[in-house]
């Protein structure tokens, strides 16, 4: 297994399933009160260029539950000193680095120049920790046979969708993106993930086509962090793509509703949908803890 967690494409299908199995075990042990101090005395540095609730808390709590510590750096990389120099400093003190950055290249540079594991906690391009946790939730609700599932992602072809496409390039999930024209995913990521896809990866502007037979309907904010200036324009463009009861009715009757959170209630999703019994958004948030502990313990042990 590679030493960093930056993109799901860096892992084999067996390695991804192994991480999901490990996350499941850690969750079960935690619920049973069994301590697992797999990272006793180890320290994780957490770099945040962008806001966070879930990622920040779950990495910090995860390190605590693994017997280690997390230290926080709120900064903009590349301004006070070069990213390679940040990496060369951190590797002298800590056993792992977690980074949430704007530029994906900055996480790649940290990984290149630090001898300790680097974990991608969201960049403008990818959000692999989210999708690992989400896959764990899907397994809990629908079993581990992803080939029997269709996930319809409604909204922007953004970092969260990109990581779903990378997941579908490794495990046989059927993925459909329903987006407004002009908001398709990165063409390079789409071409590569489609070439390697184990299931199907469909991109459509047609809501009925995208939602047809979907077992899970996923959405995310219309303007991601860093796109705040576009928020008003996007609000108009994306409004036909709001996940509301009428849209959910186009999917399977028992379709799950998923969202990485934070949600903009009344924009990309209505209260009725996010608060419905089919919504598993807080299960997703819960599993961020367990999935990331599996990543941390796998990369930082030894
Ligand atoms: N889903 C997610 O990454 O949440 P935060 O931005 O709060 O970390
Ligand atoms: N696409 C969103 C995800 C937030 C967890 C963003 O990048 O802001």
DSSP class per residue in the chain: --S-BS-GGGS-HHHHHHHHHHHHHHHHHHHTT----TTTT-EEEEEESS--SHHHHHHHHHHHHTT-EEEEEE--TTTSS-HHHHHHHHTTT-SEEEEE-SSHHHHHHHHHH-SS-EEE---SS--HHHHHHHHHHHHHHH-S-GGG-EEEEES---HHHHHHHHHHTTS--EEEEE--TT-PPPHHHHHHHHHH-SS-EEEES-HHHHHTT-SEEEE--SS-TT-GGGHHHHHHHHGGG-B-HHHHTTS-TT-EEEE-S---BTTTB-HHHHTSTTB-HHHHHHHHHHHHHHHHHHHH--
Q: Which ligand minimizes its atom distance to the CA of 123?
A: 2
Residue-wise pLDDT for 174-230, tens only, equals 999 999 999 999 999 999 999 999 999 999 999 999 999 999 999 999 999 999 999
Whole-number Å distance between alpha carbons of 59 and 65:
10
Structure tokens at 54: 């879930």
Q: Give the pLDDT confidence of 135-167 residue by residue, as tens digits.
A: 999 999 999 999 999 999 999 999 999 999 999
Identify the band that residue 2 occupies on the pLDDT scale cut at 50, 70 and 90. Answer: confident
Predicted local confidence at residue 143, as pLDDT: 95
Confidence of residue 1 (pLDDT cuts 50, 70, 90): confident
- Residue 66 is predicted with a pLDDT of 98
**pLDDT, tens only, 270-288:** 999 999 999 999 999 999 9
Structure tokens at 289: 């803890």
- Asked if pLDDT for residue 38 goes beyond 80, the answer is yes
For the chain, list the domains and their CATH numbers: 8-127+288-300 (3.40.50.1370), 130-284 (3.40.50.1370)
Atom of ligand 2 nearest to the CA of 124: 7
Q: How far is the CA of 54 from the centre of ligand 1 (A)?
A: 5
- Select from 46, 158, 259, 288 the residue to mutate for testing ligand 1; criterion: most ligand atoms less than 8 Å from CB: 288
pLDDT attached to residue 231: 98
Please determine, for residue 26, whether its predicted confidence score (pLDDT) is greater than 80: yes
Is the pLDDT at 302 greater than 90, yes or no? no
- From the CA of 241, how far away is ligand 1's center (Å)? 22
Q: What band does 9 get if pLDDT is binned at 50, 70 and 90? A: very high
pLDDT surpassing 80 at residue 117: yes
């Amino acid at each position: 297994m590679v030493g960093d967690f930056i993109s799901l494409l860096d892992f084999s299908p067996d390695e991804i399933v192994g991480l999901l199995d490990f996350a499941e075990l850690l969750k079960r042990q935690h619920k049973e009160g069994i301590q697992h101090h797999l990272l006793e005395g180890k320290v994780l540095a957490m770099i945040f260029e962008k806001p966070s609730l879930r990622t920040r808390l779950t990495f910090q709590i995860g390190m605590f539950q693994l017997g280690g510590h997390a230290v926080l750096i709120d900064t903009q990389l590349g301004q006070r000193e070069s990213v390679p120099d940040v990496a060369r400093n951190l590797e002298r003190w800590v056993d792992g680095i977690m980074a949430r950055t704007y530029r994906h290249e900055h996480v790649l540079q940290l990984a290149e120049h630090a001898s300790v594991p680097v974990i991608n906690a969201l960049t403008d391009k990818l959000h692999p920790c989210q999708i690992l946790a989400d896959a764990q939730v899907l397994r809990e609700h629908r079993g581990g046979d992803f080939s029997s599932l269709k996930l319809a992602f409604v909204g922007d072809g953004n970092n969260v969708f990109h990581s779903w496409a990378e997941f579908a390039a490794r495990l046989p999930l059927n993925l459909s993106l329903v987006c407004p024209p002009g908001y398709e995913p990165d063409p390079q990521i789409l071409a590569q993930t489609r070439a390697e896809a184990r299931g199907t990866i469909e991109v459509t502007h047609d809501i009925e086509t995208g939602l047809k037979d979907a077992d899970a309907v996923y959405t995310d904010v219309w303007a991601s962090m860093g796109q705040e200036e576009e928020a008003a324009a996007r609000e108009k463009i994306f409004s036909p793509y709001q996940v509301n009861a009428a849209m959910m009715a186009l999917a399977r009757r028992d379709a799950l509703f998923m969202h990485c959170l934070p949600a903009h209630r009344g924009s990309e999703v209505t209260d009725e949908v996010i608060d419905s019994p089919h919504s598993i958004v807080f299960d997703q948030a819960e599993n961020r803890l367990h999935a990331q502990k599996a990543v941390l313990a796998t990369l930082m042990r030894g």
